[in-house]
Structure 1
Amino acid sequence: MPDLNHTPRPRLRRRRRPWVFALCAALVAAGALGTAFAFTSVNDTQDVLVVSRDVKRGEAIEAGDLAVVRVSVDPALTPVAGSQKAELEGSRAAVDLWAGTLLTKEAVTDSLVPGEGESLVGISLTPGQMPSEQLYSGDVVRIVTTPGDQGEVTEKDPVTVEAVVVGVSRVEETGETVVDVSVPEADAADLAARAATGRVALVLDARER
């Protein structure tokens, strides 16, 4: 016979743990942020210029050398707007331009270096022949002839040549720095001959003009 005194036990309700709700809320929030970021990224794009084929430094930029693309650009960069494509035709490349790279304002110039009446001379210098201060394009410097191998110093003023820095590159194998300077054509041969002896030093003059 069935036990009439036996009553069924009520079903226990499973308690949901608080961390479950927190996890769900975090996942929903993360999804919303991801969607917002994607939306912002898409709407933050802009038309900029990229180099479509290599252009050597000093060469004129032609219409086919540049292309317009729409990308999201890092605020730290200074790309040229795509709307300026026609304006840049005929300008000169201030540096070597490589296909596939963004075109920046600093990479384009309206003038050639060296200009008319000027010559470009490369001078290889050790750390002891130049200041430790970083050199920049446009710095006014003096190339000074230093004493000979015996260290003799005369009472005459050392020969100096005023120049303007055009470019700076470091030779990792030797630790030397090659400084390209622009000088008047009349001084170029003499400066090149002196620089070839290695007995020169570079002096950086005041940048405040």
Structure 2
Amino acid sequence: MVVASVAAVCLGALLGAWAWTSTSNTHDVVAVRATIARGETIDRADLMTVQVGVDPGLRTVAGGSLNDLVGQRAAMDMAAGSLVTAESVTRSVIPPSGQSVVGVALPRSLMPGEPVQAGDTVRIVATPGAQGEVTEGRPVEVTATVVGLHPGAEQDKTVVSVMVPKDEAGELAARAATGRVVLVLDSRER
């Protein structure tokens, strides 16, 4: 009986020690000290290291990598106090120099039946006017890369944000504003 009691006490102590170490196991990770807007260059003063118990499913950046983040750009808005993940930062900014992003609001009927995704190559093609007039030659089209999709202000419309060369952005924006354009999805084969 005494041996069983001693064994039970020892087992309880071991379980208690294991529970304490598993719940108090913290790691140094990078957190945001001051809010960083998407696209901004990250400064050392914007970041800090904190000790937290991190779930293995969360892909945080280790505290030792803080200096590697300095000079990169915020891939999304990062609020002060939030943890930094690998997806939060990027070495590039959208749009890069020489490129512009144009929003094209389209109803479902003027988009492909296949879901459009960021990174897809598309063409925005001018459609005939209200009277059905078609210009001579090939229709006007602009090749672009999809950078995002957002619900439009009008019901049944989706705003497709596309990246185009800077010198084509004005014409595309003017044509998109008329509502007389259609989106063509090109091959995803790379």
For the aligned pair, the TM-score class normalised by the smaller chain equals: 0.7 to 0.9
- The CA distance in 1 between the partners of 2:77 and 2:105, in whole Å, is 21
1:174 aligns with 2:155: yes
Q: Aligned runs of 1:71-90 on 2, under 5 Å?
A: 71-90=52-71
Gapped regions of structure 2 (runs ≥ 5) = 1-13
For residue 39 of structure 1, report the CA deviation from its aligned partner: 3.5
- SS of alignment partner, residue 24 of structure 2: helix
C-alpha offsets along residues 173-199 of structure 1, whole Å, 9 cap, x if unaligned? 634222221111221111011011111
- The CA distance in 1 between the partners of 2:16 and 2:109, in whole Å, is 54
- SS of alignment partner, residue 161 of structure 2: strand
- State the partner residue of 2:174: 193
- SS of alignment partner, residue 206 of structure 1: coil
- The CA distance in 2 between the partners of 1:174 and 1:34, in whole Å, is 58
For residue 34 of structure 1, report the CA deviation from its aligned partner: 8.5
C-alpha offsets along residues 154-182 of structure 1, whole Å, 9 cap, x if unaligned? 67432211111222222366342222211
| Alignment counterpart, residue 102 of structure 2, candidates 105, 121, 131 | 121
Give the length in aligned residue pairs: 181
1:120–1:63 Cα change, 3 Å: same
1:206 aligns with 2:187: yes
For residue 152 of structure 1, report the CA deviation from its aligned partner: 4.7
1:101–1:163 Cα change, 3 Å: same
- State the partner residue of 1:160: 141
1:107 aligns with 2:88: yes
Percent same amino acid at aligned positions?
A: 52
- SS of alignment partner, residue 86 of structure 1: helix
1:73–1:145 Cα change, 3 Å: farther
What residue identity is the alignment partner of 2:22?
T
| Structure label with greater radius of gyration | 1
| Alignment counterpart, residue 42 of structure 1, candidates 16, 24, 46 | 24
1:95 aligns with 2:76: yes
For residue 109 of structure 1, report the CA deviation from its aligned partner: 1.5
1:144 aligns with 2:144: no
Length-normalised TM-score, structure 1: 0.73
Gapped regions of structure 1 (runs ≥ 5) = 1-31
- The CA distance in 1 between the partners of 2:78 and 2:94, in whole Å, is 16
- The CA distance in 1 between the partners of 2:113 and 2:17, in whole Å, is 49
- The CA distance in 2 between the partners of 1:155 and 1:47, in whole Å, is 65
Length-normalised TM-score, structure 2: 0.79
1:38–1:145 Cα change, 3 Å: farther
- The CA distance in 1 between the partners of 2:146 and 2:16, in whole Å, is 48
C-alpha offsets along residues 32-60 of structure 1, whole Å, 9 cap, x if unaligned? 989755542333x4322122211112111
- SS of alignment partner, residue 116 of structure 1: coil
- SS of alignment partner, residue 106 of structure 1: helix
